Amino acid sequence: MIDEGETQLVTQLATIEASHAGVESGARAQARDRIRARLRESPEPPIAVRFAIHDPWERRLFCALARRYGLVPYRERGQRRTSIMLKVPQRFLDAILWPEHLELSAALRAYLEVVTQRVIAKAIHEDGSEEEDRDGAAGSG
């Protein structure tokens, strides 16, 4: 079941994509097609780029975004789980893919922060804030 916050997040993510494609926010399919066309028409040859993304949710987001534009994320034998390889033109990576990923990631992280705080307050304790900073020797209490 999708709640109002999740619906707003999906709309926000679509708006971010549309802004990178240079189309109106309601034209989601048009945005994706426009960005794919830019990628296909790039005069630059794709280069293999390695990304080290430690957060599993951010890794999923990056892979999904790459696949959305017809790119194939992969990992070479022996690489760590945090490594993602992608063959992509450098200009496309710098101008569209990476900036869009950063914006989408920030929006998703902000949403997850709000949901996490709400769930902790309801299920565990109303004060789910970070620990206190104190002066003093370690181990004293």
9-48 pLDDT, tens per residue? 888 888 888 787 776 666 667 777 888 888 888 889 999 9
Specify if 129 maps to a domain: no
Q: Hey, CA dihedral for 45, 51, 55, 60, is it positive or negative?
A: positive
How many domains does the chain divide into?
1
**Residue 103 maps to a domain:** yes
**Do the domain assignments include residue 99?**
yes
Instruction: Decide if 31 is inside a domain.
Output: yes
What is the dihedral angle through the alpha carbons of 84, 67, 98, 31, rounded to the nearest 10 degrees?
Answer: 180
In a domain, 92, yes or no: yes
Query: Does residue 119 sit within a domain?
Result: yes
pLDDT at 125: 85
Residues (pLDDT < 70) of the chain are 1-2, 23-28, 137-141
Report field, pTM of the whole predicted structure over 0.85: no
**Could you give the C-alpha distances from 34 to 11, 61, 93, in angstroms and in order?**
19, 20, 15
140 inside domain: no
Report yes or no on 134 lying in a domain: no
**Residue ranges making up the domain that contains 84:** 4-123
